[in-house]
Amino acid sequence: MAARWLSPLTTFNRFVLKDSGTSRLARGLAYGGHRRQQLDLYAPRRPSARPLPIVFFFYGGSWASGLRQGYSFVGRALAARGFLVAVPDYRLVPEVHFPAFVEDGAAAVKWVIDHAGEHNGDPDSVVLIGHSAGAYIAGMLALDPQWLGRARSAVSGLVGLAGPYDFLPLSGRATQAAFGQAGDLAATQPVRFASAEAPPALLLHGGADRTVRPRNSKKLARALAAAGADARLKIYPSLGHVAVLTALALPFRYRAPVLADAVAFAREVTGRG
């Protein structure tokens, strides 16, 4: 979650090799009135006769930093594998606090679902993917029904990369800044909303992560499984917090099959396996 780790990713994205055969369909589409409420869309260049499953990627940054332009390597990696990919920005701390960034995530998902037909996307086939604080947003949208409402029925699956799902008491500056003003702290925790109605979840975490400890993914996986949901957990022993994300990039996939695991799951839950 720490912004000091994620801020260099814009530079990383600028220079890292990216998947070919993809295009950025749209840049800066507004899903709301705030300057941060914009998203980019990526898709395969080759036309598809069938509408494409939609993948959302929510980036991390302690809910306090990040730019969608720093994650085209993720958008293109997923688009190259047959998905329409949305990468949204969202409002950040300290301008806002919980639940504003979750509300923005929900607004972005609803907007893309409503406009899916304009971009050959399947509005009934959505996978939410996030890293770190972005995995928190994806997790809340997938698990707590209040955010997406009826649109939650379109969510076929959740993929969380190094997500914070169970982090009470608030012990760090980032969590205190983002959640310290919440009236009901328990209601800020994704693990609280584990239920049999949850969509299938794939929780991926680096075993060497010292920023968001793997116990977060382990606890959520146990809670979902205990509730009767489809929950899958995979720990990559040698990966740290940022490495589980950068392993999605073309030159670093040798480090761990993060992309292959996420794509196989997304294809399975959307019926494109």
Give the separation between CA 205 and CA 262, rounded to whole angstroms: 12
Q: What is the pLDDT of residues 36-64, one digit of tens each?
A: 999 999 999 998 999 999 999 999 999 99
Beta strand ranges found along 31-134 (DSSP E): 38-44, 52-58, 84-88, 121-131
With CA atoms as reference, report the closest residue to 151 among 92, 96, 199, 89: 199
Strands 155-161 and 231-236: unpaired
Higher pLDDT among residues 47 and 196, named by residue: 196
- Mean pLDDT along residues 197-216: 98
C-beta separation of 63 from 101 below 8 A: yes
Answer yes or no: is pLDDT of 2 > 70: no
Residue 80 binned pLDDT confidence (cut-offs 50, 70, 90): very high
Q: Which helix (H) or strand (E) holds 76?
A: helix 72-79
Task: Enter the tokens of residue 255.
Answer: 């480090």
Q: Which residue has the tokens 């509730």?
A: 227
Residue 239 binned pLDDT confidence (cut-offs 50, 70, 90): very high
Answer yes or no: is pLDDT of 178 > 90: yes
Give the separation between CA 237 and CA 59, rounded to whole angstroms: 22
| Percent of the chain topping pLDDT 90 | 95
C-beta separation of 111 from 33 below 8 A: no
Type of residue found at 195: S
Strands 121-131 and 84-88: unpaired
As a whole number, the mean pLDDT across the chain is 96
Task: Enter the tokens of residue 143.
Answer: 């698990």
Neighbour-count burial of 182, counting CB atoms closer than 10 A to its CB (0-12 exposed, 13-18 middle, 19+ buried):
middle
CATH superfamily of 3-269: Alpha/Beta hydrolase fold, catalytic domain (3.40.50.1820)
Which pLDDT score, from 0 to 100, does residue 9 have?
83
**271: number of Cβ within 10 Å:** 10
Q: Using DSSP, state whether 35 is helix, strand or coil.
A: coil
Domain ranges across the chain: 3-269
Residue 7 binned pLDDT confidence (cut-offs 50, 70, 90): low
Which pLDDT score, from 0 to 100, does residue 5 have?
42
| 3-class DSSP string for 114-168 | HCHHHHCEEEEEEEEEEECHHHHHHHHHHHCHHHHHHHHHHEEEEEEECCCCCCC
- Mean pLDDT along residues 163-169: 97
Answer yes or no: is pLDDT of 35 > 80: yes
Answer yes or no: is pLDDT of 104 > 60: yes
Residue 230 binned pLDDT confidence (cut-offs 50, 70, 90): very high
Q: What is the pLDDT of residues 110-137, one digit of tens each?
A: 999 999 999 999 999 999 999 999 999 9
- Mean pLDDT along residues 163-181: 96
- Mean pLDDT along residues 155-182: 97
